[in-house]
Amino acid sequence: MSYKTPIVTDMKVYPVAGYDSMLLSLSGAHSPYFTRNIVILKDNSGNTGVGEVHGGEAICAALESYIPYVVGQPIGAYRNIISNLHSLHNKRSKGSDGLQNLDLGKLKDVVHGETAIEAALLDLMGKFLGVPVCELLAGGKQRDEIVVLGYLFYQADHTKTDLPYIDEADSDNVWFRQRRKPAMDTQGILAQAEALEAYYGFKDFKLKGGVMEGTKEMEAIAALAKRFPNARINIDPNGAWKLQEAIDLCKGSALTYAEDPCGTESGYSGRETMAEFKEATGIPTATNMIATDWRQFKHAIIEKSVDIVLADPHFWGMAGSLRIGEILNDWNLTWGSHSNNHFDITLAVYAQCAAAAPGNPTALDTHWIWQDGQYLTNDPPQIKEGKIKITEKPGLGIDINMDAVLKAHELYKKLPCGERNDAVGMQYLIPGWKFDSKKPCMVR
């Protein structure tokens, strides 16, 4: 190719690890560590581009196999490069069941590891042109700041295990102290929300459900609505509830929307049951489970199953996530993004995608609040008054800290496995615990 843009001269993949709390969800308990894969590209103009995606050996191996398709290519061909890598991913994951039943073993099929390369290429291209990445996506920059929500989790008492969870009881930060404490009831959830409001200024909240009996979780939703009467509040039980249970629990509640309130049941897909949930309750629905590829998205729209697609760029690619956003906006529906535990590189990617999303996106999901302080960059995005201000710096607007990356890489190498397994921690809480997509994790 004769493109007059810099050439990629080097690509490195670093599997890394960071620290987490004993957060609970349908899939079990988060381990003391979360893992990610970091991609770092260099070009012959002297610039560095970075990207981040989910952890695990399978995704790391896929990224390393992509190196010959990236090195030596002009950054101006980034769309073609990523298109080729998307095709390789699709061949590898063909026939997968996806995440409709939250099988974490299928996460590697849903996650497009090449998104980390896409982010790094866009970072390089933005620096070459002197513009932020959001100007290179969809219709360009749509807003100067994005709204983020406070992500609330039930949390087990890690001191009841011999696992190396960290403790921040002595921190001067009101949220850092709170985020390592047990929260197994409504008061614990309210304490999280109050600390998040105090430190980050959040105006909106989301509760990760699929943990307790549905009635207890909806009691927490009611308490949040009473404590924060102007907040938009939603819940995500990851499809754990049966359809009629979901209807009974949510109808007439304070929910702004319900994320995957029900799923597969009695021969019906989650797209069908969620359409019936909407019809019965009038409550808008969101998903990151039943519309994670274009074929699923088509059926979700035909069934009128969802109002909000949480189009995580790691599931769709950055360009694909914004393409979904354009379609949703044209059809009077709403774009948002789902999240997993992540470092600050992903936070920058989310911010740039949300800045380019057309219409009126819903408040952005992010686990970043649970990892805040574990920086891999020298200038991470900041959440203030419940918002992230979009930087005017070129590219992703961040500067990689290689010392921090290498330290996180060394931590990763000490782990017995890089794949996520939420069953390990649950064994301490309920001996013999096994995942069941239709039973909240604490209900056995």
Catalytic residue among 338, 342, 367, 387: 338
Catalytic residue among 30, 158, 203, 208: 208
| Cα dist from 137 to 43, 69, 140, whole Å | 21, 22, 5
Is 181 among the catalytic positions?
no
Beta strands 28-29; 285-287: pairing state: unpaired
- The answer for residues whose C-beta is within 8 angstroms of residue 242's C-beta and 6 or more apart is 262, 265, 438
Phi then psi for residue 64, to 5 deg, are -65, -30
Is 338 among the catalytic positions?
yes
d(CA 227, CA 223): 6
HEC string of the chain equals CCCCCCEEEEEEEEEEEEECCCEEECCEECCCEEEEEEEEEEECCCCEEEEEEECCHHHHHHHHHCHHHHCCCEHHHHHHHHHHHHHHHHHHHCCCCCCCCCCHHHHHHHCCCHHHHHHHHHHHHHHHHCCEHHHHCCCCCCCCEEEECEEEECECCHHHCCCCCCCCCCCCCHHHHHCCCCECCHHHHHHHHHHHHHHHCCCEEEEECCCCCHHHHHHHHHHHHHHCCCCEEEEECCCCECHHHHHHHHCCCCCCEEECCECCECCECHHHHHHHHHHHHCCCEEECCCCCCHHHHHHHHHCCCCCEEECCHHHHCHHHHHHHHHHHHHCCCEEECCCCCCCHHHHHHHHHHHHHCCCCCCCECCCHHHHCCCCCECCCCCEECCEEECCCCCECCCCECHHHHHHHHHHHHCCCCCCCCCHHHHHHHCCCCCCCCCCCCCCC
Tokens standing for 308?
């909000």
Query: In 3D, which of 377, 368, 379 has the Cα closest to residue 403?
Result: 377
Return the amino acid letter for 331. W
Residues tagged active-site: 208, 338
